[in-house]
Amino acid sequence: SWGAAYAAGAHGLALAEEEGEERLYLANSDLGHVVKTTLDGEVLWKRGAPAGRADLYGDEAGDAGVRPGGENSDDDSKERLYKPTETAVAPDGTVYVADGYGQHWIHRYTPAGEYRDSFGGPGAAPHHLDTPHGISIDDRAGEPVVQIADRGNARIVNFTLDGQFIETVAGADALRHPCTTAHAGGRMYVPDLFARVSIFGPGGDKIIDLGDYVDGQSLTSWDDFGSPAFPELDGYPDVTPEQQRPGKFVAPHDLCVDAGGNIYVVEWHRHGRVTKLTRV
C-alpha cells in the first residue's frame, strides 16, 4: 500500500485512462495541491494553486500574496487559501480542479499539468460558485459537459468543457447540500451531506431519495442539526455509533456505482462509514 504522504487532508480521488494507462488524481484540501500518480503511487506531477493567482494565497490576516517558492512550493509561510476538493478528466485529457474549500474556482490543466485558465469564482449568480465541492464529466447526452456540485448554492450545474455556463440541472427544491455527482445507466447519483442520497433521471427529474435520516423533513442548514426538530442528530457530524442507523445516512460525502448498479456511499463524520446498497 502507499499514500501516507497524502493522509492529511486527502479529499478527492479520480481515476482516468491516458494512452491505455490508468492514472489517479488526488486532491488534498489541507496541503493545497493535486497530485497525478500511477496506480502504484509514482508521482507524475504535483500542482499547487496556479502560478500568478495571488488571490489563492494569503497570510494569517487573510491578505493575498504569492507564495515565495512558486506554484509547487511547500513553503508554509503563508496560509493556504487554495483548498482543492476534487478533480475530473475530460475525454481529451484536460484536467479540471475544483477549489471547493478555497476560493470557489474551477482550474483547467493540460494532461501534462500545464495551467490553462479558470472559471466560476465566488457568488450566487448562475455562472458563479459557492463551495464547488464535487466535479465530474457527464457524457450521458453524448456531448460531454463539466458537472459541478455547487454545494453552498444547493445546486448541480453544467458548464461546457471550456468553462461556459450551460444550465442548472437541479436546485434547492430537490437538493440540500450536494457533494458531487456520479453517473450510471442514464441516471445521476448525488450524495447529499445533509443525510441522504438522491437519484435523478436523464432529464434532471428526481427519481428517489435513499436512506433519508429525517424522512423528507426540511433540513436546510447546519443549524437544523441537533435542534428540537432533529434531536437524533445532536452533535452532527460528530455522531456516536449509536446514532448511526442501518440504511439511514448521516452525512454522505461521496459515492460510486459499479457495473451491476450497486451503490457505495462514503460518509463524513467522526467514525466514518462505507455502505453498499445492492440493486434489486
Number of CB atoms found within 10 A of residue 52's CB: 10
C-alpha distance from residue 11 to each of 135, 163, 204 (Å): 13, 23, 27
* Burial (CB count within 10 angstroms: exposed 0-12, middle 13-18, buried 19+), residue 70: exposed
Which position has the grid cell 445532536?
A: 234
User: Domain 81-277 adopts which CATH fold?
Assistant: Neuraminidase (2.120.10)
Low-confidence ranges of the chain (pLDDT < 50): 59-70, 72-73, 76-78
Sequence ranges of the domains in the chain = 81-277
Record the pTM: 0.89
201/209 Cα distance (integer angstroms): 12
pLDDT tens digits for range 244-260:
888 899 899 999 999 99
pLDDT of the residue at 174: 95
Three-state SS at 219: coil
Contact at 8 Å (CB) between 71 and 49? yes
pLDDT of the residue at 69: 40
pLDDT of the residue at 99: 94
User: Phi then psi for 16, rounded to 5 degrees?
Assistant: -145, 150
Per the structure block, which three cell numbers stand in for 233?
442528530
pLDDT of the residue at 191: 98
pLDDT of the residue at 249: 92
Per the structure block, which three cell numbers stand in for 116?
490553462
Three-state SS at 224: helix
pLDDT of the residue at 66: 41
Number of CB atoms found within 10 A of residue 7's CB: 10
What is Dmax (Cα atoms) for the chain?
Answer: 56
Sign of the dihedral defined by the CA atoms of residues 211, 148, 73, 60, in that order = negative
